[in-house]
Structure 1
Amino acid sequence: MSTDEAVGTDRPQQRRSVLRVVRDAPRPVWVLVAGVFLNRAGSFFATFLVLFLKQLGFTTQEMPLILLAVGIATPMGSLLGGWASDRLSRKASLVGSTVLASGGLAVIGMSPNRPVALCGVFATALFAQAYLPAASALLVDHTKEEDRVPIFAFFRLALNLGSTLGPLIAATVANDNLKTLFVISSCTYAAFSLLLWLGLPAVPSRARTADARRAAGGGLPPLRLILFYGSIIAITAVYVQYTSTVALAVEEGHSASAYALLLTLNSGLVILFEMPLSGLTRRVPWWIPAAIGTLLMTFGIVLTGVAGPYWLIAVAVGVWTVGEMLFSPVVSSATAALSPPDRVGLYQGYLATVQAVAFGLGPAVGTYLYGIGTGLLWLSCSVVGLLACLGFLGVSRWARSPG
C-alpha cells in the first residue's frame, strides 16, 4: 500500500477536474440543482414580504412583531427539515417541505383578508427554507468526500443564478397587487416539488438503517461542533452587515445605485469564479479556506464600511467576495465531515439554523452599534471575525487530536 493510500488521500494526477466532477455527478445531484435554480428564480417571499405587509395595511409599529415571528419560524423550519431528512428520507423531507411551502404561498396569494394572509406568511416562513438541510445531506450522500466542495459550489451556482434571475422576473410581472408574485412563487415551489418527487430515488435515511440505529437519538452536538457552529454564526453576523450597516456607510458618500452596483459586482464575481476556485480549496483541509475566508470577509466588510473613495470600496467588496467564495462551499462539506453518519441531515439543519439566526440578528445588532458609533461597530466586527477564525482553528486541532 502506498503512502497516499495509507493516509486516504488522492494523488494530484488522479483527482478529477471540477468540470468533470460536475459533469459526472449522479442524477439526484442534477435533479436537485435544476430544481433549486427553478425555485430561486421564482422565490419572492423574503424580497417582497415587507412591501406586502405594508400593502395589507400593517403599520411600522406592527411589522417588527410579524418579522420577529417570521425570523423565529425560519430556523425552526431548518431544524425540522434536517430532522425529517434523517428520520424519514431526504426525498420525503425535500418533497414535504416544498409542498407545504407552496401551500403557504398559495394562501398568501389568494388570501381574502389579513388573518388568512398572516397564516400563509407564517407557514411559508416555516417551510420555505426547510428543504436546505435535506438538500445538503443529499449532496453528501451522492458525492465522494473529495468532490464535495465542487459539488456544493455547483449547488451555490444554481442558487445564485436563480436569485439573480428572480428580480428580473419580478420586475416583469409585478404590478400594484403583489399577490401575483406569491402565486407565481407557489407555482415554482410546486414545480420544484414535482421535479423532486419524479426525479429522486426513494432511499430510506441512514438513521433508519440497522447500522445507524444504535447511534440514533437526540442531544446536543459535541462541544467541538458547538464551537464550530458558534464560529459560523459569528462570521455570518459580520458578513451580513453588507445588507445593513455597510449600505448605510456607503450611501453616506455615494448614491443608492452605486451601492446596488457593488452588490452586482459581488454576484458576478461569485457566479464566475466560485466553482473554479473550489478546485483549489478542495485540495486542502477544510479549516484552511474556512479560516482564510473568515479573515478576508472580516477585513473586506470593515474596509467597505470605512473606505471613502468609491474605487477603494469596490476593492473591499472584492476582498470579502473572495472570502465568501473560499468559505461558503467548504462549510457544508466540513459540517458533513464532522457529523455522525446517521445525523448528517440534522447537523446540516443546525448549520442552516445558525446561519438563519445570524442573518436575522446580525443586521439588528449591527445597526444598533452603528447608531452608537461607527468605530464601535467596525471594531466589534474585527474582534468577532478574529474570534471566528480562531474558533475554526480550534475545531481543527480538536478534531485531529487523539481522544
Structure 2
Amino acid sequence: MTDDAHVGVLETLKSTPLAVRYLLGGMLVNQLGAFVQTFLVLYLTHRHLSVDDAGLSLVAYSAGTVLGTMLGGEATSRFGPRATIVMAMAGSGPLVAVIPALSRSSLLAPLLVVVALAGLLAQAYRPAASVLLSDLMPERQQVMGFSMMRIAINTGAALAPLIAAGLILADWDALFWLDGATTLLWALLAFALLPRHAGPAEAATATEETEQVAAEVESAKKDGEGTPEPAELTGRAAYAAMLRDRKYVFYLLAVLLGTITYVQSMIALPLQVRADDYPTGLYSAVLTVSSVVLITCELKVTTYILRIPTHTAVMIGHLVNSAGFAVYALVAHSPAFFLIGAVLEVGGLMIAGPSMFAHPATFPAALKARYIGTMQAMAGLASAVGPLFAVFVWTRLDHGFWVLCAAVNAVAGLLAMAGLNRGARPRDPEQKIAPGGGGQGEPEVVGGTA
C-alpha cells in the first residue's frame, strides 16, 4: 500500500478548492428547502385532494426525477456543469412555488405537469454537481470529496423537516414558497460563484478523451453505423459504450438493488414500528441517531476505507448494512434492536457509500456526465420502486421481510464488488483508469485517481 492512498480529514478540508466549498454550500442551501417529495402527499390531502390524486402527483414527481438525472447528465456534457445547474435551478424554483396555486381537484392535469417538470429540473443539477466536484477536487481526494457532498446533502435532509415543522404551523403554502426561494438562491449562487469551465482534471484527461473518441469511431464503423458525428459520438455512442461495459452494468444493478433496500428504512421501518405497537417517537429517535452518526463520522470512516481496495470496501459496507437489516427482524423482542440495526445500517453506508457514489466520476470526461446521470437515474428508479416492494412484500412477511432485505442487499454487494474490482493492489496515482476499469492497467484503490 502506498502513502498516496492515505488521505486525512484535515488535509482534505484544508486543500478543498474554494469553488468546491461554494458548490457544497449551495447544495446544502438547496437541500434545506427541499420539501416537495417529503410533504407533497400530506399537503395535497390537506388541500382536500383525494389520496389517489395525491399519490398520482407523487408518482409524477418521482418519474420526473428519474428522467431529470438522465437529462442532467446529457445537458452537462453539452453545456457544462455550471450552466446546467443554473438552468435547472432557475427553472425549478418558479415551478415549485406555483404548486399551491394549482392544488385543486379541478386543476389536477396542470398540477401533474408542473410537479413532473419540477421533479425533472430539481434532479437535473445532480450529475452536473458531481462532475464539477470530480473536476475540481485533487484526484487522490475525490472519494473524500464525494463523502463531503453526501454529508452536505444529508445535513440538509436532516434539518429540512425541522424547518418544515415550523412553516406548517404558520402556513402550509410557505413550504413550497421557501422551497422555490432556496432553489432560486442556489441558481444565483451557482451563477455568481461557480467556475464556467472544468477544473484541473480537464487537461489531465485530454489524451484519454482523444483515445476514447477514436475507439468509439472504430466501434461505430464495425457496427455498421458509419462514422458518427460529434453529437452522436458523445451521445448514443457513450451510452452504447456503457451498455457494453459489463462491469458498469453490474455496478448499476448494485445501485438499483442497494437503493431499493435502503429506502425501506424510510418506508417499511415506520410501518414495523407501528405494527409492533411501539410509540412513533421511536422512529424519530432512529432517524436522529442515523443522521447524527452519518454526519459526524463519515469523513473519518472514509479515511480508513481509502486504505483498502475499492471492491473490498464496498463488499464490507454492504455486509455491515445487511447485518443492520437482519437485526430489524428481531425488533419484536426489544426496541433496542431498532437502534442497533440503524447504527449498523448507517455504518455500512459510510463504508460503501463514498466509493459507490464516486465511481462514475472515474471515467473520462467524454463519458463521465452521462455515466453519473445514469447511475443517479437508477437510484431514482429504485426509490420509486421501493415503496411497491414494501407494500407487496412487507405486508406478507412482516419481520421476515428484513431477512429478505439483508439477502437482497448482500447480492447488491456481490454485484458492486464485481463491478468495481480491478484487483487487489493500489494503482500508481499518475495512471489513468480506462473506461470500465476491467483488467486494464493497475487496479483501482478507493481514493485513487479518477
Q: TM-score, normalised by structure 2?
A: 0.81
1:3-402 mapped onto 2 (5 Å cutoff): 9-11=2-4, 15-111=6-102, 114-115=107-108, 116-175=110-169, 177-203=171-197, 211=210, 216-218=234-236, 219-220=239-240, 221=242, 222-251=245-274, 252-307=276-331, 308-337=333-362, 339-374=363-398, 377-397=401-421, 399-401=437-439
CA distance in 2, matches of 1:204, 1:319: 38
CA distance in 2, matches of 1:19, 1:101: 36
CA distance in 1, matches of 2:103, 2:63: 25
Q: 1:176 to 1:282 in 2, by over 3 A?
A: same
CA contact (8 A) 2:76 2:84 kept: yes
CA contact (8 A) 1:70 1:122 kept: yes
* Displacement of 1:33: 0.7
CA distance in 1, matches of 2:60, 2:114: 13
* Displacement of 1:377: 2.5
Larger deviation: 273-282 or 296-305? Answer: 296-305
Larger deviation: 87-96 or 57-66? Answer: 57-66
CA distance in 1, matches of 2:11, 2:165: 36
CA distance in 1, matches of 2:285, 2:198: 46
* Displacement of 1:119: 3.4
Q: Which runs of 5+ in 2 are unaligned?
A: 217-233, 423-436, 442-450
AA of the residue aligned to 1:45: V
CA distance in 2, matches of 1:75, 1:120: 15
SS at 2:12 equivalent: helix
Identity %: 26
CA deviations on 1:235-287 (whole Å, 9 max, x unpaired) are 11112111122222233141111111111100010111011111111222222
CA deviations on 1:107-133 (whole Å, 9 max, x unpaired) are 214448534444332221111122111
SS at 2:253 equivalent: helix
CA distance in 1, matches of 2:80, 2:359: 22
Larger deviation: 267-276 or 152-161? Answer: 152-161
CA contact (8 A) 1:294 1:385 kept: yes
AA of the residue aligned to 2:351: L
Q: 1:183 to 1:383 in 2, by over 3 A?
A: same
CA contact (8 A) 2:4 2:140 kept: no
Q: Which runs of 5+ in 1 are unaligned?
A: none
* Displacement of 1:16: 4.5
CA contact (8 A) 2:60 2:116 kept: yes
CA contact (8 A) 1:235 1:298 kept: no
CA distance in 1, matches of 2:189, 2:309: 35
* Displacement of 1:157: 1.6
CA contact (8 A) 2:47 2:103 kept: no
CA distance in 1, matches of 2:66, 2:283: 29
CA distance in 2, matches of 1:94, 1:378: 38
Q: 1:402 to 1:24 in 2, by over 3 A?
A: closer
CA distance in 1, matches of 2:19, 2:321: 32
Q: 1:305 to 1:22 in 2, by over 3 A?
A: same
CA contact (8 A) 2:325 2:403 kept: no
AA of the residue aligned to 1:231: A
Larger deviation: 132-141 or 66-75? Answer: 66-75
* Displacement of 1:11: 4.5
* Displacement of 1:204: 6.4
CA distance in 2, matches of 1:185, 1:282: 36
Q: 1:400 to 1:332 in 2, by over 3 A?
A: same
Q: TM-score, normalised by structure 1?
A: 0.90
Q: 1:11 to 1:82 in 2, by over 3 A?
A: closer
AA of the residue aligned to 2:290: N
CA deviations on 1:141-183 (whole Å, 9 max, x unpaired) are 1112320121111112211222222222222222474222111
CA deviations on 1:85-117 (whole Å, 9 max, x unpaired) are 111101111111111111211221444853444
* Displacement of 1:54: 1.2
CA contact (8 A) 1:249 1:305 kept: no
CA contact (8 A) 1:246 1:305 kept: no
* Displacement of 1:366: 2.3
AA of the residue aligned to 2:77: D
AA of the residue aligned to 2:117: A
AA of the residue aligned to 2:82: K
CA contact (8 A) 2:31 2:156 kept: yes
CA deviations on 1:50-77 (whole Å, 9 max, x unpaired) are 0222133321233333322222111100
CA distance in 1, matches of 2:418, 2:152: 32
* Displacement of 1:17: 2.1
CA distance in 1, matches of 2:57, 2:101: 19
CA contact (8 A) 2:67 2:377 kept: yes
